Structure 1
Amino acid sequence: MKTSILNQSKQWLKNSDHPLVKSVFTQLKTVLNFELPAPKFLCTPLYALYVFIRNLFSTFTRIVFWTPLFKGRVHKVGRPLNLYGGLPYISGPLSIEIGDNCRISGQSTFTGRSSAATQPALIIGNNVDIGWMTTIAVGSKVVIADNVRIAGRALLAGYPGHPLDAQARAQGEPETDSQVGEIILEKDVWLATGVSVTAGVRIGHGSIIAAGSVVTCNIPAMVLAGGIPARVIRELKLSEGK
């Protein structure tokens, strides 16, 4: 009720033709848009100080809090592990193995299929980057080989979480085994921003998947692929794949 009255008052002030109301509205806008002076000789060092304190706090929490907690959950992890920006969300009966020199965003999600007959496994090789807001849903197994780069907002969907049948879905039943599959990213693969990879897909070594693509079938080695669904655009030369 109070919100409705406030919105009505705001619209009345904004749209009224009365000179006094217009004057009041102009004064209110001036007050609301007020900005303090920002001299560079003062604000530049203050900003540098803010960045220093922010990075110091982030490094401290990563070393003494986020990384030890994360290592306590995974089954095997190499060194060094750069876990930046917090602690990934992990759910389900998921086995996680991570190689050496990996960088993983704390704003990522790893899930394992809870109705699987055997424990789902996420196997990450050496020198792998997993970017911001990436979700890896492991139905049976997801393998991310050495030197793979996964940009932000990627989705590796090894299982969908719901069955295709509407009645079964309404009753809260899990997906069927036919909807589940392994995902294999071979060495040197690069998934650009917003790429989705569905169950049962293998992407060959050195291949690049363009931003926003949805990969629904196997992609050969050393190609640039893109689109919905993703198709091979062109072959990559060896120097391009390095």
Structure 2
Amino acid sequence: MHNLKLYIVTMIVHLFPESRMFAVKRGLYRWAGVKIGSNVRICSSATFMGAGMLSIGDDTWIGHRVFITSSSRVVIGSCVDVAPCVYIGTGSHRINIQGDHIAGEGYNADVVIGDGAWLCACSVILPGVEIGNKAVVAAGAVVTQNCEQQTISGGIPARKIKSLT
């Protein structure tokens, strides 16, 4: 993604009606370097940041006030539903008890969301996580490790609650 272009697009898109003008938004985000499939619907209050790569598959919904920050790579599959207030981030810090700041050296790790997955409201997807195809991440969950396909995961930290097969 191109930081300056993405900043400009974000300022413009936030002026649009929340759940309208999806084709225009797709075009603007593509111009800013986001790889977007067909029929992707992005709410106007969603925010994308970072110089990393963001790819969104066909027929995916990005809900209200979603925040995605990528300093490496975020891949969101096709037919994914991302509910309001979801956070997806590729960067964090290692804990450094010896330093002046306990948030020590920074690191980046890719995030991959499988086809047909559902990230429920206010869930948090941390660096290095893979969400399997048709997996559900429960509302308010903090995902720190991979979620198997066709399962429901929830809690802090998120754990497998139920298999859907």
Question: Which residue of structure 1 lines up, in the alignment, with residue 67 of structure 2?
Answer: 135
Question: Which residue of structure 2 lines up, in the alignment, with residue 218 of structure 1?
Answer: 146
Report the Cα offset of residue 157 of structure 1. Answer: 1.2
Aligned residue for 1:133, secondary structure, equals: coil
Question: Which residue of structure 2 lines up, in the alignment, with residue 154 of structure 1?
Answer: 86
Report the Cα offset of residue 130 of structure 1. Answer: 0.5
What percentage of aligned pairs have identical amino acids?
Answer: 31
Aligned residue for 1:220, secondary structure, equals: coil
| Structure 1 CA distance for aligned equivalents of residues 95 and 62 of structure 2 | 30
Q: Which runs of 5+ in 2 are unaligned?
A: 1-15
| Structure 2 CA distance for aligned equivalents of residues 206 and 123 of structure 1 | 18
Given candidates 105, 114, 125, the residue that maps to 2:43 is: 105
Alignment of 1:229 with 2:157, yes or no, is: yes
| CA 134–192 in structure 1, closer or farther in 2 if over 3 Å, else same | same
Given candidates 114, 119, 124, the residue that maps to 1:196 is: 124
Given candidates 123, 138, 144, the residue that maps to 2:76 is: 144
Question: Which residue of structure 2 lines up, in the alignment, with residue 124 of structure 1?
Answer: 56
| CA 222–108 in structure 1, closer or farther in 2 if over 3 Å, else same | same
Report the Cα offset of residue 69 of structure 1. Answer: 7.0
| CA 69–148 in structure 1, closer or farther in 2 if over 3 Å, else same | closer
> In the comparison of the two structures, how many residue pairs are matched?
147
TM-score by length of 2: 0.78
Question: Which residue of structure 2 lines up, in the alignment, with residue 21 of structure 1?
Answer: none
Q: Higher RCO, 1 or 2 (CA under 8 Å, sep at least 6)?
A: 2
Report the Cα offset of residue 73 of structure 1. Answer: 4.7
| CA 217–69 in structure 1, closer or farther in 2 if over 3 Å, else same | closer
Report the Cα offset of residue 204 of structure 1. Answer: 0.5
Report the Cα offset of residue 159 of structure 1. Answer: 1.1
The CA RMSD measured in Å over matched residues stands at 2.8
Report the Cα offset of residue 180 of structure 1. Answer: 0.9
Alignment of 1:71 with 2:27, yes or no, is: yes
| Structure 1 CA distance for aligned equivalents of residues 58 and 95 of structure 2 | 36
Question: Which residue of structure 1 lines up, in the alignment, with residue 33 of structure 2?
Answer: 95
TM-score by length of 1: 0.54
Runs of 4+ residues deviating >2 angstroms = 66-75, 162-170
Q: Which has the larger radius of gyration?
A: 1
* Structure with greater helix share of residues: 1
| CA 222–111 in structure 1, closer or farther in 2 if over 3 Å, else same | same
| Structure 1 CA distance for aligned equivalents of residues 33 and 155 of structure 2 | 32
